[in-house]
Amino acid sequence: MPRHFLLGTAALVALLIGTADAQTKPNISGVDRSYMNPSVSPCKDFYSYANGAFDKVPIPGEYAAYGVNQEIDERNFAILKDILENAAKAVSPTGTVLQRVGDFYASGMDEANVDRQGLKPLTPWLNHIRAIASPEELVAVIAQLQSLGFNVGFQFGVDVDDKNSTATIASLCQGGLGLPERDYYFRKGKDAEETRAAYVAHIARMFELAGEKPGSAKKIADSVMAFEMKLAKASRTLVELRDPEKNYNKVPRASLKRSAPGVDWNRYFATLAFPDSESKLLVRQPEFFAAFAKLLAAEPISVWRDYLRWHVLSETASYLSKPFVDERFSFYGKKLTGATVLRPRWKRVLAAEDVAIGEDLGQLFVQKAFSPAAKARAQEMVDFIKLAMRERVRAATWMSETTKIEAYKKLDAMRSKVGYPDKWRDYSKLDIARRPYVLNVLAAAAFESQRQMAKLGKPVDRSEWHMTPQTNNAYYEPTLNEMCFPAGILQPPFFDEKADDATNYGAIGATIGHELTHGFDDQGRQYDAAGNLKSWWTSQDAKNFQSRAERIVEQYNAYEVLPGLHINGHQTLGENIADIGGLRVAYLAFKLATKDKPAASRDGFTPDQRFFVAFAQSWRTNERPEAVRLHVGSDVHSPIRWRVLGSVANFPEFLEAFDCPKPAKAWPAIW
């Protein structure tokens, strides 16, 4: 997950020296007493004990939440800004990394030209949508818009085949919504009703900016909302989407004519340039596409045109003139997250460039921000954490030897990617120029669609990265059975190649353990060593796992994050398992890595205490209430404070480290 968080003195200095190379990183400790509140008992509220002084730090207006993640982001951004500005000033040969990086940034930063252009760059597409006269034309336009990255109707993608991880396959998934998640359309209560009303008002204002009169804009907004509610009604919930087996439905492409009749699938696939040789594909949510076909037949073309116009306006607004940018921020920023100030333009352009040509930018970033020594130390930690997980499996008395043997195979086969790719992505066929900003964004989206389509019929490229090197995040991919830790997250205070083991394992170690544990959570455990969706558990071991998982569901269901607002334990189950298991695996890895080293106290903390404080401080974050509500309503992760509290609860070594009494109620761990 994004570990995404006022800058202290050290962090501010780091910002000012952001262009330094990897050997001169700022000295930022993973354990900082100035953030702590020692008046709070670590046994009663460990998050407040470790981070209580930070609670008083105000959240800058541009952020929904602010803390350690945003401090790292700001330092990474400073390095990237310097790279971008220098590239934009340079005159580089066409087709080179520096030319693409500089021209994209220059087009985005030319605010005067963007404002002059207004909607003009999108006029051909908006006119194209207005001209739709039949369901057949509608299907073709949906395909065209999807190939430009628009979330309209549903989602088409190219994935690793869950049950044949050596092959790629096309997939159709539910989608097409403008609110964060399907339950936003149906959730009861004052807050939910106000959000829906604000969304409709936002749609209307966007159409007024596009030239519609207020009365017409209001009618269009009501129509779009009513239509999206029908799409939402046909969609699965976040909890339902957590079942890999139910989301695996491989069908002959010809069968779509029967299961979703009335959709001109031949025209749709031809427009996408989907190869005729691909005779099968995955339909992740079949009931959604049956409902989509009915909507295609029942809804007036005018409703579909308004819906498509809305998504084109909404999804490009950030790259258009100031009125569109401000209006989009008013809803998706202010209303949904509580942010009060629009982020500086350079940060917004940087974010877009990261999506568009992220590995071009990444090549330049790692030269400044990630040393060979850092890569080696991080890889060593990964190795110890894999060893620790092996020990956790071995010690699991609830698992049979039969299942354990398969678990060891999965661990041994698990790949780790650290820092940056061995092979950089080739963007040479992508035309980036100093033209209207939105056209560069759309060109990059089209390039990516074509790149994905080109994977079909070819072996899976296991060297490919699914995050850019400058990203402050990490992932585990079950179909590839691999973990990835970009250089962007391997930064102080999460990680420092010169730091002590306690702080490194408590902070980034828990993240590495988290991603590894995803291979053995309620979803990941269903994939085998090769990345195939295949049962490798005995029936009794699967029952034992599920029994323990339900205890975690109960634990998190009990957490009230705001008055009347509880975490959904089933929605967040996989992440909670990974948080709890990740911390335990990291702790054991810390012990394995230091077994032959002297265990000395430091800054008044024992090594174990430093480990746990470093873990808690790696999450120090202040979140706006609006952001917490958004988090609970649309995210599979628990809100940040509870990612700490839930992980240390019922952890014997934590209780011993801080001399805490045993809890009145304990439950068996999974990992």
**Does the annotation mark 579 as catalytic?**
yes
**613 Cα distance to chain centroid:** 26
**Peptide bond before 26: cis, by omega within 30 degrees of 0?**
no
Q: Which two tokens stand for residue 585?
A: 């695996």
Instruction: Identify the CA nearest to 618 among candidates 518, 520, 522, 499.
Output: 499
Cβ–Cβ under 8 Å, residues 436 and 107: yes
In 3D, which of 232, 223, 248 has the Cα closest to residue 176? 232
Helices (H) and strands (E) in the chain, counts: 27, 11
List beta partners, residue 164: 161
H-type alpha helices, 131-185: 135-146
Determine the Cα angle at 321 with ends 320 and 325, to 5°: 75
Tokens of 304: 């579909």
Taking each helix axis from N to C end, the angle separating 9-16 and 68-89, rounded to the nearest 10 degrees, works out to: 10
Please identify which of the residues 501, 515, 528, 623 carries the catalytic annotation. Answer: 515
- Spatial separation of the C-alpha atoms in residues 74 and 347, rounded to whole Å: 10
Q: Catalytic residue, from 501, 579, 623, 626: name it.
A: 579
Q: For the chain, what is the largest distance between any 2 Cα atoms, rounded to a whole number of angstroms?
A: 77
Please tell me whether residue 486 adopts helix, strand or coil conformation. strand
For residues 636 and 569, give the distance between their C-alpha atoms in angstroms, rounded to a whole number: 9
User: Within 13 Å of residue 121, how many CA atoms lie on the same side as its CB?
Assistant: 22
Provide the 3-class DSSP secondary structure of residue 166. strand
Closest CA to 343 of 644, 656, 66, 659: 66
Quote the crossing angle between the two packed helices 123-130 and 135-146, to the nearest 10°: 160
In DSSP notation, 121-141 reads GGHHHHHHHHT--SHHHHHHH
- What is the rounded CA–CA span in Å between residue 438 and residue 122? 8
Please say if 515 is a catalytic residue.
yes
Q: Annotated active-site positions, please? A: 515, 579
